[in-house]
Structure formats: C-alpha cells, structure tokens
Amino acid sequence: MNKLLVSTTVNGDPQQFLCDPDTSLLDALREEMDLTGSKEGCGSGDCGACTVVLDGKMVCACLVLAPEAEGRQVSTIEGVAEGGQLHPIQRQFLEHGALQCGFCTPGFIVASKALLDHNPEPSETEVRYWLAGNLCRCTGYDKIVRAVMDAAAELRQDRRTAA
C-alpha cells in the first residue's frame, strides 16, 4: 500500500505524518504523533473513549480515517489544559472523583469541553444527552455530570470576573 502524507493541525500545532490510506485517526494520533491520551475501547464508535474534536465537531477517532484529517484542525485530550494549567473541566473531574480506572476519562473530558464550548450554560439533561455516547463502567455518571455542571458554573464565573 502506498503511504500518504497528511498535513494537519493537532492541538494548535502543525503536524505531518505518513500513513496507509486505511489508518484510523486514532492510530495516527497514538502511533505517529505519540498522543496516547485517546484510547481505543471498542473500535466501532460505541464507547467514546477515543473522542476528539475535528474542525469543531466531536468524532470518534477510531471511525475517522487519518487521511480525512488533511488540512483540518484536531483537538485531543492533550490540548485541553492551557498554559500548563488544568482546564476547569479537568479540575472538576478530580474534585468530584469523576474517574476511577481512567480509561474513559479522556473521551469524557474532550466531550465535556466540546459541550461547554458549544453551550456554556447546559442543563443537567443536556449534559447527560451530550455525554450519552461515552461509556463508563467504573465511576457511574452522577459524579461526571456534577463535574461538568460545576465546570460550567466556574467558567461562567470566570467570564463574569474577566468582564
């Protein structure tokens, strides 16, 4: 199979890598760019462990072919923290104990950040709906939902303080 050269931007940084046409974006992130935060749970888009944001939309990286990232913007769990500081969603996950084994956590955090970027004032129902594509077998969902709700409140407060 002929390798393809893919040029993309990942977490704000230009990236180039070679891959086979059938390489998943998840495999390219993990194997070509050493961004191992996104996990492969199911390989069929059912668990959300590999959730990334592609041009502003949440996708399961296991279902996207790496060549589809050509010229596009990809955001992963490694890009959530800013300036060496945890993002409020990461901090709230820790404070609420919204993780146990941690396998699903990167996907939940990326999905939660995407929600708060899309809607900074979600209701609990909206949070539960938005995160429905992410599965957790250890923690349960209440701590995760509480973490997202408190992160949303923290972000709103930060915006008010900055204004």
Segment 97-156, tens digit of pLDDT: 999 999 999 999 999 999 999 999 999 999 999 999 999 988 889 999 999 999 999 999
**Nearest-angstrom CA–CA distance, 70 and 99:** 33
Please identify, among 47, 78, 109, the residue that sits at the C-terminal boundary of a domain. 78
What is the rounded distance in angstroms from the CA atom of residue 8 to the CA atom of residue 4? 13
Domain ranges, residue 43: 4-78
Q: State pLDDT tens for residues 83-102.
A: 889 999 999 999 999 999 99
Are residues 37 and 69 part of one domain? yes
Measured CA to CA, the distance from residue 159 to residue 89 in angstroms comes to 15
